[in-house]
Amino acid sequence: MSRLFLGGGEVGAATQTVRAFIGAEITGALPATRFEIIPKSTPNLAVAIGSSSKFITIADVEAAIDASTGIVGNISDMCWAPSLGLLCAAGANGNTYTSPDRIHWTEHTTPLTGQGFNTIDWSPVRGRFVAAGYMGYGAVSTDGVTWASQRINAYNLYTGAVRWSAKLGMFLGGNTTGTLSYSTTGLSPWNFTNNALGSEHIICIAVSTVAALAVIAGNAGRISTSTNGSGWTARTSNLPGPARSAAHSPTQNMFCVVGDGGGITTSNSTATTWTARVNPLGTANMKRVVWWTGGARFLATDGVSIIQSTDGVTWTLFDVLAGTSIQAMTDAPALPMPAAGALVHGGDRYAIA
């Protein structure tokens, strides 16, 4: 039977959360300032990775735990391939990193090693990762280990975002100068659409999982939408500055885009109307937003604090991860927690799963 241990932190303090360790006893001093409640098995997770080689797992008990990743360098983006049971992160150094459990990571070289990735996504239909970034170049892989060079656009344009849309049946690649590439397979040839976002650099893409609909947003805060991937319509975003990340909620049938200056904007079901939302972090520059399936809510971060919303309208603080700079987040509904008794640690947090 598992034993329960409490320690550290200010139990009951307004800014603290009482957290518990479930499992074998931890010996020695615990530097943690806050503690987590971690069940033996939590299949519904969202995950994030930070610049301090720490990996944050957000469990459906509304707690976050950190673990050392062994990753050196910055991560640009990350995705979850459920059929492979694999997380794959794209590095700013052009390498990729894979993990079956978000704790043990393996680094892989790619054709862009030394150049850099901005983005990565997985298509369960095509069984393929597509990662992209430097000067229109990218790389593709069916296993996350072996990568082949791929040209996303032929105009030496940096690709800021790639996303797979099952409803559109294609990968979408957002480039600088507002141009968009798209491919049904992720392989050449990629088609090319000019002025998808005017001349604005495309920073992020989100796709609906319930309709043939996609959203792109850029470095001046503009938003465009498409129902076919080739024709795009500009929308009023109500963002105060550059967009940084976008996500879609199948539960709310709503898109959310976050950006600089504390910007949060959400859409109606057709993404034709956008409404600015109040950010509990004020004017903090937001970096990432994801829809967390297990928690049935949006999670967004400025790199340190994580905020949450179940309806996209009202946002509250979820957690503050001191000493961490979150760089990438993804939903990973089938990612398992560690085996019972495994020690998960890193930075200022410890937990027994």
Position 47 scores a pLDDT of: 57
Go through 3-34 and write b for each residue having 16 or more CB atoms within 10 A of its CB, e for each that does not: eeeeebbeeeeeeebebbbbbeebeeebebeb
The amino acid that residue 69 corresponds to is T
Q: How many CA atoms lie within 13 A of 246 on its CB side?
A: 36
Position 46 scores a pLDDT of: 55
Position 324 scores a pLDDT of: 62
Q: What is the DSSP string of 215-271?
A: EEEETTS-EEEESSSS--EEE----SS-EEEEEEETTTTEEEEEEGGG-EEEE-TTS
Position 101 scores a pLDDT of: 74
Q: Which two tokens stand for residue 212?
A: 């043939």
Cβ count within 10 A of residue 160:
23
Inter-residue contact 349 to 65 (CB < 8 Å):
yes
Domain boundaries, the chain: 3-352
Q: In which residue ranges of the chain is pLDDT below 70?
A: 1-73, 103, 321-324, 334-353
Cβ count within 10 A of residue 96:
27
Position 293 scores a pLDDT of: 83
Please enumerate in sequence order all residues whose Cβ is within 8 A of that of 13, keeping only pairs 6 or more positions apart, or say none: none
Position 53 scores a pLDDT of: 42
Could you name the CATH architecture of 3-352?
7 Propeller (2.130)
Position 51 scores a pLDDT of: 46
